[in-house]
Structure 1
Amino acid sequence: MALYVYAITGRDHPLAVTDMTGVGAEPSPVRALACGPLYAVVSDVSEEIRPKRRDLLIHQEVQERLMAGGPVLPLQFGYTAADEATVEQALGKDADGHLANLERLDGRAEYHVRASRNEEELLRQILRETPETRELNERIRAGDPDPQLPLALGRTVAAQVEERQDALAAGLTDALVPYAGDHSVRQASGDDFLNLSLLVSDDRKEEFLSAWSGLVRQLGEGVDLRLSGPLPPYSFVR
């Protein structure tokens, strides 16, 4: 039978998930499959697993329970293997690498930072502070018939938005990275201009959170800063 694989742990992990049932339309118990010095945390599945709400929540709860008991290498949602032999072969192929990863992530958690800005406030700020945009805007409002003015204003404002967003993203990253052992910057989406993951050790957690609170106070309501964590270290499994 096919297996859904949640995570990899060391053999000394307490594995406080054996009272759980796993993903799928006919959930089976979550269990540990041993291979040398490692465990794969799995459950049996009989169908293709799709990202339904219940299954996403179960996947995350397994990760969080495991993380509370020690280092874990979380797998992204949806990973399945044909059978136990396939899982055992995969674990045995790079057991030393998995063990080194577990040691590197021990006592560390992922924190995820996203940031966006109030668009209207940013545009007002640009028009107020940038002479070129202010002049173009005033000419348009005064009725200047030049058809190129709106296009020129749009280009200038867009360039200013990008420049200011990039500068603020870099400043936030520089302010938070010193508290992390590792970090990853990904392409922001939607209205966000920052998508940052940080690997923070437990002994620096309070410093990190204090620095975060300071940034929130400093930037005020014009910038929407969101912090998620502590999370399983998905972004830092190598």
Structure 2
Amino acid sequence: MAVYVYSVVAADHPQRLDDVHGVGDPPVALRTVRVGKLSAVVSDGPEDLRPKRRDLAAHQAVQEHLMADGTVLPMQFGFLAADDDAVRQVLEDRADDFAERLRALEGCAEYRLKAAQDEEALLRQILRESDEARGLNDEIRSGRNSPELPLALGELVAQEVQARQARLAAELVDVLREHARDERAAQATGEDFLSVSFLVDRDHEARFLSAERGLADELGEDFDLRLQGPLPAYSFV
């Protein structure tokens, strides 16, 4: 039977598994596979595993339960090995890598920040601050019948949006990285112009959260800053 792998921890991690269960319906029991100074938290791999809400929540609950007692290297949902021996082999082959990452993540948690800006507010800002955009918009509103004008305005606005949001994203990251040990940028999707994860030391957590709240207050209601955390450090494994 396949083995589902949740995370890797140090062998001296408490690994209290009695009060938490794994994925599957009914939920499967957790166990550990140990090699030297490392342990993998695993369970039997359920058949026909899919990223259902129940199983995603169970996977996350295991990470958070272990994280409460020490440093965790969380695996992404759905990580399977052929059997316990295959898990042992990976622990042996990558022992140094796992040990190094555990040291790097010690005492830290991940905070994930996403940011979006109200489109209409951004457009008003561009028309207010860009003479060229405002001039094109005035010509269109005056009734001048030229199909080139809307196209030119659209291209100009798109360039302005990209430049302004890239600049703002860099400024936000610059402020917050002062309170973080590491960072990982991701591709922003949908209406977001920023998606970034920070590895934050517990000793600096209050300062990081205060800085994020200060940014949100400074930007105002036209911006939507969404901070998730503390999370298992998926982005830094």
TM range (shorter): over 0.9
Aligned match of 1:183? 183
Tell me whether 1:93 sits opposite 2:93 in the alignment: yes
- Could you tell me how far 1:89 is from its partner in structure 2? 0.4
Gaps of 5+ in 1: none
Taking the TM superposition and a 5 Å limit, the aligned residue runs for 1:65-80 are 65-80=65-80
Residues 189-233 of structure 1, C-alpha deviations (whole Å, 9 max, x = no match): 110000010000011011111111110110011111010011000
- Could you tell me how far 1:17 is from its partner in structure 2? 2.4
| Contact 1:19/1:30 (<8 A) preserved | no
Amino acid at match of 2:12: D
| Contact 2:21/2:62 (<8 A) preserved | no
Question: Aligned to 1:184, what secondary structure does the other structure show?
Answer: strand
* Cα distance in 1, alignment partners of residues 135 and 159 from structure 2: 16
* Cα distance in 2, alignment partners of residues 71 and 61 from structure 1: 15
* Cα distance in 2, alignment partners of residues 208 and 19 from structure 1: 32
- Could you tell me how far 1:19 is from its partner in structure 2? 2.9
Runs of 4 or more, structure 1, over 2 Å off, are 16-21
Aligned match of 2:158? 158
Aligned match of 1:171? 171
Aligned match of 1:113? 113
- Could you tell me how far 1:123 is from its partner in structure 2? 0.5
RMSD (CA atoms):
1.0
Tell me whether 1:141 sits opposite 2:141 in the alignment: yes
| Contact 1:11/1:37 (<8 A) preserved | yes
Amino acid at match of 1:122: L
* Cα distance in 2, alignment partners of residues 182 and 111 from structure 1: 11
Gaps of 5+ in 2: none
Residues 24-58 of structure 1, C-alpha deviations (whole Å, 9 max, x = no match): 23432111111111110011124132100000000
Residues 43-77 of structure 1, C-alpha deviations (whole Å, 9 max, x = no match): 11241321000000000000001111000100000
**Is the deviation greater in 164-173 or in 25-34?**
25-34
Aligned match of 1:219? 219
**Is the deviation greater in 216-225 or in 30-39?**
30-39
Amino acid at match of 1:106: E
**Is the deviation greater in 135-144 or in 18-27?**
18-27
Question: Aligned to 1:78, what secondary structure does the other structure show?
Answer: coil
- Could you tell me how far 1:21 is from its partner in structure 2? 2.3
**Is the deviation greater in 30-39 or in 151-160?**
30-39
Aligned match of 2:199? 199
* Cα distance in 2, alignment partners of residues 189 and 150 from structure 1: 26
Instruction: Count residues in correspondence.
Output: 237
**Is the deviation greater in 128-137 or in 23-32?**
23-32
**Inter-CA distance 103–17: structure 2 relative to 1 (3 Å threshold):** same
Aligned match of 2:123? 123
| Contact 2:20/2:61 (<8 A) preserved | no
| Contact 1:11/1:39 (<8 A) preserved | yes
Residues 71-91 of structure 1, C-alpha deviations (whole Å, 9 max, x = no match): 010000000111000000000
- Could you tell me how far 1:96 is from its partner in structure 2? 1.9
Residues 89-116 of structure 1, C-alpha deviations (whole Å, 9 max, x = no match): 0001111221121111110010000000
| Contact 1:18/1:31 (<8 A) preserved | no
* Cα distance in 1, alignment partners of residues 137 and 51 from structure 2: 47
Taking the TM superposition and a 5 Å limit, the aligned residue runs for 1:18-97 are 18-97=18-97
* Cα distance in 2, alignment partners of residues 78 and 86 from structure 1: 16
- Could you tell me how far 1:11 is from its partner in structure 2? 0.9
Q: TM-score under structure 2 normalisation?
A: 0.97
* Cα distance in 2, alignment partners of residues 124 and 116 from structure 1: 16
